[in-house]
Structure 1
Amino acid sequence: MKESVLLIKPSTYMNNSGIAVIQAMEQFPIAVSDIVAVVDDFNIPEGVLRLREKGSAGGHNGLKSIIYHLGSEDFARLRIGIGVDNSSKDRDFVLGEFENISTLKNIVEESVSAMEKIIELGTIKAMNCVNKKKDDDTSKTGGES
């Protein structure tokens, strides 16, 4: 059985992402539980993916907007680590160009693979694949727990 997938990239500012999600839901039959928000996260080491079935915004303004407009935290989110140290957590870094193209290519490939797993296996089973790699990688480098 083929799955239909709708990919939206909001043309709004990130802080207004929820508006774009609501507009898509008005045009297409999308359940909140079928949404997967893909966001960057400077609190996660560069290149590390973290998949969650639902939860809070965790300080991410784009997720805050989506949660506000949906009135729900019950959607999946794939956080892509951009690994900024504390001195670089600023607007210019987050909005700037990605410098390491080979790392960027790898991040994109792993993110696409994660999304394919979500579609094929569902979010919970995909979490076991996506987050296991993160745990293995960060345990070697002393990253987050």
Structure 2
Amino acid sequence: MHLIVGLGNIGKEYDGTRHNIGFETLDYLSGKKGITITKKEQHGVTGVYREDGQKIMLAKPTTYMNNSGLCVAGLMNFYDIPLENLLVIYDDIDLATGDVRVRQRGSAGTHNGMRSIIQHLGNPEFSRIRIGIGRPRLGSELVHYVLGRFPKSEFTAMENAVMEAAKGVDIFVKDGVDLAMNRINVRKKADQKKHAEKKPDEKKTAESNELEKSE
């Protein structure tokens, strides 16, 4: 069995907030797979689907973010899930808004949910998908920022990020974390390179327009 965990806070008041992008990714994924995430167990709610002969469990901790490890460790122990089959999806302020990165391991950084999971598992050697939410403006409080909602100008970027993260889950389950990193992370780099290569042309076009105006 694979365990895919999306991090967030339970409650309508937290719907759509930056800190709940892990939940939103699981909502999107469960819709694609035609299941619901409603079974209450181990301090969370879960839903299961089968694909390519494998059983995949989607889970949302219901403990609030800071105690997410209770749910993750509980499910891992109860179902005897190997650590290499765990994938956690969460928001990351160290990535630009809409960026998606798959990692095989790592520290918790500033994320309290990840800190709780590592503490309860006693091991940081598990895969994760980080979804960038950007950093707050200088002088703004981090807690208010992560519990705030995305402005309309970021809706498209975050919708694309959720879909990209869902692709990462599918690759992880079918082909493993290495291929997920290669495909998801490299795709983003390729998009950035393509965007950078367009800039000189855009600049040239702008200069041509200015020249035409002056003539």
Alignment-derived partner of residue 35 in structure 1: 86
What is the CA distance between 1:26 and its match in structure 2? Answer: 3.2
Aligned-pair Cα RMSD in Å:
1.9
Instruction: Pick from 80, 91, 98 the counterpart of residue 47 of structure 1.
Output: 98
The structure in which a higher percent of residues are strand is: 2
* Alpha-carbon displacement from aligned partner over 1:17-40 (angstroms, at most 9, x marks no partner): 111101212332211221111110
| CA deviation after TM superposition for structure 1 residue 48, in Å | 0.7
- Please say which of residues 99-108 and 17-26 is displaced more in the overlay: 99-108
Give the residue type in structure 1 aligned to 2:147: L
Structure 1's 137 and 60: CA in aligned 2 closer, same or farther, altered over 3 A? farther
Residue 58 of structure 1 and its aligned partner are, at CA, apart by: 2.3
Identity of aligned residues (%): 38
Aligned match of 1:129: 183
Aligned residues: 141
CA contact (8 A) 1:42 1:89 kept: no
User: Using CA pairs below 8 Å that are at least 6 residues apart, which structure has the higher relative contact order?
Assistant: 1
Q: How does 1:38-77 map to 2 (within 5 A)?
A: 38-77=89-128
* TM-score, normalised with respect to structure 1: 0.86
**CA contact 1:44–1:81 (8 Å) conserved in 2:** yes
Tell me, in whole angstroms, the C-alpha distance in 2 between the residues paired with 1:104 and 1:135.
Answer: 17
Q: What is the distance in 1 between the residues matched to 2:136 and 2:95?
A: 10
Q: CA deviation at 1:138?
A: 4.7
Q: Secondary structure at the match of 2:146?
A: helix
Q: Structure 1 regions of 5+ residues with no counterpart?
A: none
Q: Is the 1:33–1:76 Cα contact (8 Å) retained in structure 2?
A: yes
The 4+ residue runs of structure 1 with deviation greater than 4 A are 137-141
* Deviation, structure 1 residue 137: 4.2
TM-score by length of 2: 0.60
Please say which of residues 96-105 and 34-43 is displaced more in the overlay: 96-105
Which of 97, 105, 108 does residue 149 from structure 2 map onto?
97
| Matching residue of 2:70 | 19
SS at match of 1:6: strand
